[in-house]
Structure 1
Amino acid sequence: METGAAEKENGGAEGKRPLKERLKLWWDGYEIREKKAAPKIVDEEPPEDEGPPTVMGWAVSRQRSVVTLFGDGMIRCVPDDVKKRMTTPMGVNKTMSVAELGAGLGGFAQWVVDEFEAYVDAYESEEPLVDAGKELIKMAGQTRFIRYIHADFEDFQPKDHSANVVYSAEALFCVKNKELLFNRIHDMLKAEGQFMMSDYMLDGSGEDDPNIQKWFEAEPDRPHLLDVQKTRALMTKAGFEVSIAEDITAEYKANVLAAFADYARRTGRGEKSGHLHDWVLKEGELWTARVKAMESGSLKVFRIYARVPAKIV
């Protein structure tokens, strides 16, 4: 099928088909969007006494399952082209001190090291991910460049003026006290420092929206969402100049669709996922709830760029 015909058959780039129908296409292996080759699925024995598949916590099998979906070291859907769009505007280079908030298993941080030869402070709130991430960067020979730091983002305590650049991808939406967090991020940045984040937000709806409440039920941790304009206001109050607030919901949904389609295609071609398949299915339920909330129009994903203004002498 030609590319144009395939897009038409699938409802175009915006994904016009109903969610239920597109889910079936994912699991039937329909190629929704071209994607870089993902790591080969390894059929490993399940760890002892790990229990049934769950998205509560970060069991070893859950860590392995998200990596099969999203790539080496990735626990969220942040393809390389998205990483580039988040970092390129900030002019990241090897002379800068860089910090990631919500580093997961270190996939984004490793990409930054490979791309820019920069040093990265990788802040992560989940201890199992910190421990696993440290092992993975050790195996990758990047302990010189990446420093893992366990952090509580509700009471974030970074060193003041320790970073030129801070970035975060869909890692802060469960933080309740975002005003305090933005203040601390501002304080950790050096003069004229830059902050780029993407995350789940509201845009005109409220947390009492039935579609949002239904999504909350599927999340392992309770989200605390702000309207995008409220987010901008809090960042401005913290001392940032906010110059970009871009709705990337359509792009985000397309990337999630592509990740699951790629997994389905690979298993359809004979790659084995063994016991991990059940974990991937459980992960799929979580991501289905997220996408469904986006389909309703109640949940959005925004990318926001902010900087510390130059001091007037």
Structure 2
Amino acid sequence: MSKQKGKKVKLPLKLRLAAWWEGYDPEELRSRLAARMPEEPTAPAKEKPKKEAAPIPQDRSELDPWDADTINIAQYIWGEGFCGPGGPEYIVALSKLLALSPEMSMLEIGAGLGGRARVLADKFGVWMTGFEENDMMVAKGRELSKMAGMEKKAEIVKYDPSVHEGFLRNFDRALAKESLYTIQDKSKIIGQVEEKLKPGGLFLITDYVLSSEAVVGKESYGEWKVGERYNPYPILTSDYEEILKSKRLQVRVSEDISDQYITMINQAWAGADKVAAKLAKEEDGARLIQVLMKEAEYWTRRKKMLESGDLRLWRFVANKKDSGPGMMSDW
């Protein structure tokens, strides 16, 4: 057996990004390159003391996945005010079924940096209140809303979904874009939204769902779960629909939008090498590039789960039933 087989080969950043973009595993590419290198005489390796593997954190509530560098890198990839797929044009198109107007108010769960809230407030005149659990996100989101002169029109509010007891006022519309899958008690938060949603109001949800119950037993699912920023609790599409119905919300739209989502991920990361070149010119470029690579690995895992079909990105649009005596069809 070749002595080179276990040799660690350092891949240039551009090659690692290219491997990700083309769908190859960087580690596999690294091993292939090592196998092609000429053998070198090596002294007997000294046995190093074995390091114990770090325990996988079951509760990541005390870890902050959104430090200042990660937020900045995310905006380089997704655009100012955004930390994931779906920029201004996508958000406007996604929300057209909501028939938004300047007379309306809208609640958003998982507002992030407030990019969606500002886009919708600017495009449709709707009054947005975005609820976000991460302190860094809230601070940066408020700063961006202030810079845009939209402190009141696109307000970002701090909340903790694990102890949240309800919203204080009524809303005409509600939005939750890939934010409910990290909340274990979805029935509770959806019920809190329904409670403050005006009769006839609409609730738009896009979220990660499981394609089958068997997925949770797969090794790939475990790897994805461990690599997520927050503990994920995805459920089946049918379970989602049952929760909505149990909270007197009528499901009007239920569709798989995974293919479009994967395309947006690919398009955004296609320019990652340009981002890396820009970061390399900065004083702490090496450190920032490491943050960029960490983000690339994060989205690689998620994209693989979506492409395999084990994880899907689903869109729901539900409306609150009008108040008053229930009809037989409601029972």
Normalization by structure 1: what TM-score? 0.79
Quick one: which amino acid aligns to residue 301 of structure 2? A
Which of 179, 197, 201 lines up with 2:187 in the alignment? 179
The answer to whether the aligner puts 1:84 opposite 2:84 as a matched pair is no
Q: Output aligned runs, 1:96-135, within 5 Å.
A: 96-135=104-143
Q: Distance in 1 between matches of 2:79 and 2:274?
A: 15
Which of 152, 156, 160 lines up with 1:144 in the alignment? 152
Secondary structure at the aligned position of 2:271 is classed as: helix
Quick one: which amino acid aligns to residue 194 of structure 2? H
For the Cα contact (< 8 Å) 1:176–1:224, is it kept in 2? Answer: yes
Q: Which residue of 2 aligns with 1:222?
A: 231
Which of 176, 192, 205 lines up with 1:168 in the alignment? 176
Q: Distance in 2 between matches of 1:19 and 1:252?
A: 17
Quick one: which amino acid aligns to residue 288 of structure 1? T
The answer to whether the aligner puts 1:277 opposite 2:320 as a matched pair is no
Higher relative contact order (Cα pairs below 8 Å, separated by 6+ residues) = 1
Q: Which residue of 2 aligns with 1:21?
A: 22
**Residues 304 and 246 of structure 1: CA distance in aligned 2, closer, same or farther (over 3 Å):** same
**Residues 270 and 59 of structure 1: CA distance in aligned 2, closer, same or farther (over 3 Å):** closer
Q: Distance in 2 between matches of 1:109 and 1:284?
A: 26
**Residues 22 and 210 of structure 1: CA distance in aligned 2, closer, same or farther (over 3 Å):** closer
Q: Distance in 1 between matches of 2:138 and 2:82?
A: 13
Task: Count residues in correspondence.
Answer: 267
Q: Output aligned runs, 1:1-313, within 5 Å.
A: 21-22=22-23, 56-159=64-167, 162-206=170-214, 207-265=216-274, 272=281, 274=285, 275-312=287-324
**Residues 196 and 129 of structure 1: CA distance in aligned 2, closer, same or farther (over 3 Å):** same
Q: Distance in 2 between matches of 1:177 and 1:158?
A: 13
Q: Which residue of 2 aligns with 1:45?
A: none
**Residues 217 and 172 of structure 1: CA distance in aligned 2, closer, same or farther (over 3 Å):** same
CA-atom RMSD, angstroms? 2.4
1:276 CA displacement: 2.8
Q: Distance in 2 between matches of 1:270 and 1:208?
A: 39
Quick one: which amino acid aligns to residue 175 of structure 2? Y
1:160 CA displacement: 5.5
1:264 CA displacement: 2.8
Q: Distance in 2 between matches of 1:246 and 1:188?
A: 25
- Tell which deviates more after alignment, 159-168 or 88-97: 159-168
**Residues 252 and 23 of structure 1: CA distance in aligned 2, closer, same or farther (over 3 Å):** farther
For the Cα contact (< 8 Å) 2:178–2:207, is it kept in 1? Answer: yes
Query: Based on CA coordinates, which of the two structures has the bigger radius of gyration?
Result: 2
Q: Distance in 2 between matches of 1:112 and 1:234?
A: 27
**Residues 93 and 262 of structure 1: CA distance in aligned 2, closer, same or farther (over 3 Å):** farther
Structure 1 gap segments, 5+ residues each: 1-17, 25-54
Q: Deviations over 1:74-122 (max 9, x none)?
A: 1111123321232110101111011111111111111111111221111
Structure 2 gap segments, 5+ residues each: 1-18, 26-62, 326-331
Quick one: which amino acid aligns to residue 92 of structure 1? L
Q: Which residue of 2 aligns with 1:42?
A: none
**Residues 133 and 196 of structure 1: CA distance in aligned 2, closer, same or farther (over 3 Å):** same
Normalization by structure 2: what TM-score? 0.75
**Residues 148 and 157 of structure 1: CA distance in aligned 2, closer, same or farther (over 3 Å):** farther
Q: Which residue of 2 aligns with 1:7?
A: none
Q: Distance in 1 between matches of 2:96 and 2:164?
A: 26
Quick one: which amino acid aligns to residue 263 of structure 1? A
Secondary structure at the aligned position of 1:153 is classed as: coil
